[in-house]
Amino acid sequence: MKIPINIASQPFRRDRPMIAAYLAVSAILAIALVALIIFIQQNGQQLVGMHQDIARLNRQIHTVSIERTRLDGIMRQPQNSSVLEWSVLINTLIYQKAISWSLLFADLEKTLPYDVKVVALHPQVDSLNHVKLDITLGADKSGSIFSALQALEHSPSFGTVKPGSSLPPTQAEPLYRFRFTVNYAQKL
């Protein structure tokens, strides 16, 4: 029987693979550290550029708001107020005339069922030039009105229907009537 004898004061250990692994991990971490430092520097430069752009845009906004305030002051003077009111009236009339009635009725004709009648129609144009229609529909059967509302909601020319009031038939008016508001997709 052979007995191994180690007479060294510190026995031999196999540390070479561990040292190689530590060196590889250290190299990877060093490369990641360098990449993060470069990334942080680039973001810092972009941040400085964005702050300069924001400051420039804020100065432009301030300049434009001062100019607008000055022009509003001129328009609000007593001698100019009648011209301002007249121009508001004219612009409102132009927006009202910008609605194409023939296109509106053609879209309604394509969308509404044959047994539904348009009793009243009032278009409105908001400040963003969106057209809203205040419509009152009439039909012999209440089911026809509900199918008309579904057809309007599914049509690309009209938007969501916001319900209003409904009236049953009377002796004076023999139709079911339903009033609602709907967005109209006509470009002004």
Tell me: the pLDDT tens digits for 8-58? Answer: 666 666 788 889 999 999 999 999 999 999 999 998 888 888 999 999 999
Let me know: does 78 contact 109? Beta carbons within 8 Å.
no
Residue type, 70: R
Residue 1: pLDDT above 70? Answer: no
Alpha helix positions (H), 13-77: 16-75
Tell me the C-alpha distance between 23 and 29, whole Å. 10
Tell me: the pLDDT tens digits for 63-100? Answer: 999 999 998 888 778 887 778 788 888 887 776 677 78
Average pLDDT score over residue span 129-147: 88
Residues sharing a CB contact under 8 Å with residue 109, sequence separation 6 or more, in sequence order: none
- Say what the pTM is: 0.51
Other residues' Cβ atoms within 10 Å of the Cβ of residue 24: 10
| C-alpha distances out from residue 179 to 100, 151, 159, 161, Å | 22, 15, 15, 10
Structural class in CATH, domain 100-184: alpha beta
Sorted by where each begins, the domain ranges of the chain are 16-76, 100-184
